[in-house]
Structure 1
Amino acid sequence: MDTGLLLLRLILALILFTHATQKLAGWFGGNGLSRQAEIFASLGLRPGRVMVLAAGVSELLAAIGLLLGLLTPLAALLAAGTMAVAGATMQLNSGKFWNIAGGGEYPYVLAAAAAVLGFTGAGALSLDALLAEPGSVLETVFYQPALWVGAAVLLGAVLAVIPFASVVKKSSTP
């Protein structure tokens, strides 16, 4: 199980790092900050530059936390929330769910995978495991999270969507 959690964390970290650097620096064929800010603004996420910075920095911090398995529920919350907002934005703008039709399916899958880590923790192959002492808060919240931690990550991701969904919905209706 620990190897599976490590692989999940590494894959998500790589994807989130790539997403962040596409937005912030134009790496990996991305638009970079200025062009991405225009796109975000056109989707109703204004001010575009601030929203791109918020999304990019959230993805980058989540990637680092997941890569290291450090403060994993917080990293999972950042990833799940950012990806849930991305999925909702895409879905509300296209009116479709499926990725091929411009919908939010793919970001939702990333959000779900991140939320799972809120319930499982990073596993034994992580800094959370290395730093947590038996019976400590670090163990209960980060290394072997209680059910409420995962539920809080999931709820936080859902709640993150609400303000963005209302803004995007207003800008996409004539």
Structure 2
Amino acid sequence: MSRIGKRPVELPNGVTAKIDNGTLTVKGPKGELSMSTSDLIDYSIEDGQISVQPANKTTAARQFWGMQRTLVSNLVEGVTDGFQKVLNITGVGYRAQAQGKSLKLQLGFSHDVDLTVPEGLEVKTPDQTTIEISGIDKQKVGQFAAEVREWRKPEPYKGKGVRYRGEFIFRKEGKKK
């Protein structure tokens, strides 16, 4: 039995959900999200809750159970509160600037890195060394944050690079004379 899958997902006030033709759609104050449903899982909406149960007793159905419940929970959380990732930039001359639907990064290369912000995401730079990525889709927010971080991962000697807020970088000592 899945401990996560057993718990139903509560629908807050102002959030509605419906299932049509193998698609679960959730509407809320921040927008609308949908996901395709799995044949191995039964979804039911009743009494302001979405419950997820395996359709049969197969191992595959039980394996999908907890993950599908978490995906449904992410849809509900996204349309009510949204998701946010904050990146910090460390290094001399490293900076970021949000310009409309693009993000300009200066990360020590001979050229600037220009990234196009995906549809549905909002990128802000409160200062030159902080990037705030927010949106209603958890997967899109995390993927874009990972793409930004991929350009200059934090290195272990001086800690220069792009890191998530709160991320610990294991530091190495370096050469000794």
What TM-score do the two structures reach when normalised by structure 2? 0.27
Q: Which structure has the highest strand share of the two? A: 2
Q: Which structure has the highest helix share of the two? A: 1
What TM-score do the two structures reach when normalised by structure 1? 0.27
Q: Which has the larger radius of gyration?
A: 2
